Chain A
Amino acid sequence: MTEYKGVKGGKVRNFDTDPDNPYVGQVWYNQTLGDLRVRATTLTSAWSSGGNLNTARSNTGASGNGTQSAALYFGGATNPTTASALTEQYDGTSWTEVNDLNTARRLTIGDGTQTSALCFGGFIPPETGITESWNGTSWTEVADLNTARRSLSGAGADNTSSLAFAGKTTVTVANTESWNGSSWTEVNDLNTAREAGSGTGIQTAALMISGDIPPGTAAVESWNGTSWFEVNDVNTAGSGTGSAGTQSSAVVFGGDRGVIVGNTELWNGAIWTETNDLNVARRYLGGAGSQTSALAMGGQPTTTTQTAATEEWNANFGYGVWVTGGSLNTARTHPGGTGTQTAGLAVGGEAPTGNLSQTELYNGTSWAEVNDLNTAKALLGATGIQTASLAFGGQFPGGSFTGTTENWNGTSWTEVNDLNTARRLMGSAGTNTSALSIGGYNFDPGTARAQTESWNGTSWTEVADLNTARYSLAGAGTDNTAAIAFGGISPVADPTDQKAQTESWNGTSWTEVNDLNIATQQLAGSGNENLALAFGGETPSEAVTANTQSWNGTNWTNENNLNTARLNLVGAGTQSLGLAFGGATPTTTAATEEWIGDGIITETVT
């Protein structure tokens, strides 16, 4: 039998409890649990949409040594036969047109950076050796290639040092030429002539990846500054790929492998490994950046169309997951909840037996009962931290609405001034000295409210209304001057009118900002106005949902689901370290879940 020590060179260490700060990959034995444990991560790599090019095109040059947030894309074909002189530059968000090439061309190539690039060769028609140098502002014609050609490849750090290789004159060629800032010099040929491959690296250390001999080849060659030598093939032969990176660490993507594909492969200096595909399959696209942070732009998704799509490749990022925490002692729906992931507070709520006054505190592992509210109630709001909280509004046993407010000092609850308008199912945000009660529902006659009340530590004051009246919404915010409100439902007469609206509070008024990705009511939230999390609830298509969405101050992003779908739950903590507890599945639950935003978790090896 293989022993862990034989594989890893060391024994697994025993611990009474999980170690405090294990590193990712660390394995240990938890003697208390009797389990082998590991520090694991959700690290993964993927493409996502970037800003679209202003003009869709393919067969262009690109600043291969640019970065994901500073790239240049020039020339190319706007349709199968029309050469372009357009130049666009990317800032990590959007493309901007800058000065054109002097000579429009397609089937061209380039390298360098956004501020120092070179464009050489291509097809005007006919094949050309024209070289242009980019200084960050404009293109200047410099010395031509010795061999005019199209569909060539290139590698280079900037406009003073570059390598041009492969391509097609009337036949595919193996020619390699080296640029010293003023002229091209012929150097040693590739071992295999080809066109429409991709090149990456710099003048003294480059990579020639696949291409069309014809047929399409998987052959890869590496340049050591003097000559080319064959290295391991890519996994699938093809041409028209894009690439980024260096001679020893590259990524190749897209291409034509009999069909147009989005395949992505990673090179570690020795072998190619397949990884996650482009979202938009295409050939003859541009590439820039590094193996871990690359950009794919333009290209042909079909044989006769060009795309403006840009995609950004990010390697080894973690994405959030929910893990189970200790359950509440008393299962409940509609509690108030606040605090942090390791110091949470649950107060009141509704159990099958009726409204609750119980308060429980979470320490990151388990809940403990402490002193009760003075008056049992559910559907209330709560703000603050575990040792200084505010619980307000809600519904008393029997169904009457209340504006009563209680203050928690870490030990006991004390009644303070009431809300001006009794209500239930409102959103809440802030602390126990600076809070907001947002929207909600009251008799008058059974109406969703737009009213907002602001707590200054002593009393509630009515301030500006929400733009959209609603209840069963969620809120997140720092204090009574900065918050967001999201989701909810209204009017009462239409139980399917879940809201996706998000509104932002600046201390004076509410402004509509970007909606939730899916309309949700009876949801929970955590975080603040800039970084928030929305989870659980009810959507138009799901009576009980596990959906989770994160807010970055501008947009909502879909995240991993709760493990237990539920509504009428409550949340605490931050966007990266959230806490979800209680709710209905639809049966009343005591389940607690912890959100690990960076995806680094401790789990049992099974």
Chain B
Amino acid sequence: MAKTYQYCVAENWGKGFIDHVESIKITFKSFPGNVWQVPAYNKHANLWIAKVNGTVKTLSEAQDIVTAEVTSAQNAWDADNVEGETAEQKADRIGDRPVDITLTE
């Protein structure tokens, strides 16, 4: 089946990383670990990846990076406890536990 998305790793350096015209032409989605999802088989997306020196990742490789980041955040969340605190109080204090992220192709 043809892919809908492709993935790359690129660090957002700030101004000029995504310009206005790229923003119009490409639907971006960012994930933990500097993973970016952009449309597959899309020339504008390919040009953007080249511009930002992105490292193209397979779905599996991108998933591994994201999962490692999420797992790390989950472990940190699990370890952050105050004695006597209820689950609701913990969520109110530090927010909800990070949820798993599943990338799609």
Contact, CB under 8 Å: B15 / A304: no
A305 surroundings in chain B (CB, below 8 A): 32, 73
> Provided the pairs A44-B24, A46-B20, A49-B18 are in contact, do residues A81 and B73 lie with their beta carbons within 8 angstroms?
no
Contact, CB under 8 Å: B24 / A303: no
Of B14, B23, B46, B76, the residue contacting A304 (CB under 8 A) is: B76
> Provided the pairs A94-B15, A541-B46 are in contact, do residues A46 and B23 lie with their beta carbons within 8 angstroms?
yes
Which of the segments B1-9, B47-55, B57-65 contacts the partner chain? B47-55
Contact, CB under 8 Å: A93 / B30: no
Query: What distance in Å separates the Cβ of B29 from its nearest Cβ neighbour in chain A?
Result: 7
B51 surroundings in chain A (CB, below 8 A): 517-518, 556, 558
B28 surroundings in chain A (CB, below 8 A): 279-280
A sample of 14 inter-chain contacts (CB < 8 A) reads A48-B23, A49-B12, A49-B15, A302-B73, A302-B98, A304-B95, A304-B97, A305-B73, A309-B12, A311-B18, A517-B51, A518-B50, A557-B16, A558-B21
Query: What distance in Å separates the Cβ of A150 from its nearest Cβ neighbour in chain B?
Result: 10
Contact, CB under 8 Å: B21 / A279: no
Question: Known contacts A49-B14, A51-B15, A302-B32; can you find 11 more A-B pairs with CB under 8 A?
Answer: A47-B23, A49-B17, A50-B15, A94-B14, A279-B23, A281-B29, A281-B30, A300-B95, A302-B70, A302-B98, A304-B97
B88 surroundings in chain A (CB, below 8 A): none
Query: What distance in Å separates the Cβ of B15 from its nearest Cβ neighbour in chain A?
Result: 5
Does A317 lie at the interface of the complex (its beta carbon under 8 Å from any beta carbon of B)?
Answer: yes
A131-B61 Cα distance, complex, nearest whole Å: 48
Does A371 lie at the interface of the complex (its beta carbon under 8 Å from any beta carbon of B)?
Answer: no
What is the interface size of chain B, counting residues whose CB is below 8 A from a CB of the partner? 38
Of A81, A311, A517, the residue contacting B47 (CB under 8 A) is: A517
Contact, CB under 8 Å: A319 / B21: yes
Considering the complex, give the chain A residue whose CB is closest to the CB of B19: A48
Work out how many contacts link A and B, with CB atoms closer than 8 A.
103
A300 surroundings in chain B (CB, below 8 A): 95
A277 surroundings in chain B (CB, below 8 A): 27
A443-B71 Cα distance, complex, nearest whole Å: 61
Contact, CB under 8 Å: A314 / B20: yes
Of B12, B20, B94, the residue contacting A81 (CB under 8 A) is: B94
Does A52 lie at the interface of the complex (its beta carbon under 8 Å from any beta carbon of B)?
Answer: yes
B interface residue numbers (CB < 8 A to A): 12-24, 27-30, 32, 43-44, 46-48, 50-51, 70, 73, 76-77, 80, 93-99, 101
B95 surroundings in chain A (CB, below 8 A): 80, 300, 303-304
Query: What distance in Å separates the Cβ of B30 from its nearest Cβ neighbour in chain A?
Result: 5
> Provided the pairs A304-B77, A518-B50, A558-B44 are in contact, do residues A48 and B96 lie with their beta carbons within 8 angstroms?
no
A314 surroundings in chain B (CB, below 8 A): 20
Does A121 lie at the interface of the complex (its beta carbon under 8 Å from any beta carbon of B)?
Answer: no
Of B24, B50, B80, B94, the residue contacting A276 (CB under 8 A) is: B24
A48-B51 Cα distance, complex, nearest whole Å: 15
Contact, CB under 8 Å: B73 / A46: no
Contact, CB under 8 Å: B14 / A557: no
Within 8 A of B (CB), among A310-360: 310-311, 314, 317, 319
A560-B47 Cα distance, complex, nearest whole Å: 11
Does A555 lie at the interface of the complex (its beta carbon under 8 Å from any beta carbon of B)?
Answer: yes
Within 8 A of B (CB), among A28-77: 44, 46-52
- Which of A47, A48, A305, A559 counts the most B-chain CB atoms under 10 A from its CB? A48
A245 surroundings in chain B (CB, below 8 A): none
Query: What distance in Å separates the Cβ of A121 from its nearest Cβ neighbour in chain B?
Result: 17
B96 surroundings in chain A (CB, below 8 A): 303
A311-B12 Cα distance, complex, nearest whole Å: 11
A386 surroundings in chain B (CB, below 8 A): none
A52-B11 Cα distance, complex, nearest whole Å: 11
Of B15, B29, B97, the residue contacting A93 (CB under 8 A) is: B15
Contact, CB under 8 Å: B21 / A557: yes
Query: What distance in Å separates the Cβ of B28 from its nearest Cβ neighbour in chain A?
Result: 4
- Which of B29, B47, B80, B98 counts the most A-chain CB atoms under 10 A from its CB? B47
Considering the complex, give the chain A residue whose CB is closest to the CB of B46: A541
A322-B74 Cα distance, complex, nearest whole Å: 50
> Provided the pairs A46-B20, A46-B23, A319-B20 are in contact, do residues A280 and B14 lie with their beta carbons within 8 angstroms?
no
A93 surroundings in chain B (CB, below 8 A): 15
A305-B29 Cα distance, complex, nearest whole Å: 15
Contact, CB under 8 Å: A310 / B14: yes
B23 surroundings in chain A (CB, below 8 A): 46-48, 276, 279
Does A447 lie at the interface of the complex (its beta carbon under 8 Å from any beta carbon of B)?
Answer: no
> Provided the pairs A49-B16, A281-B29 are in contact, do residues A558 and B46 lie with their beta carbons within 8 angstroms?
no
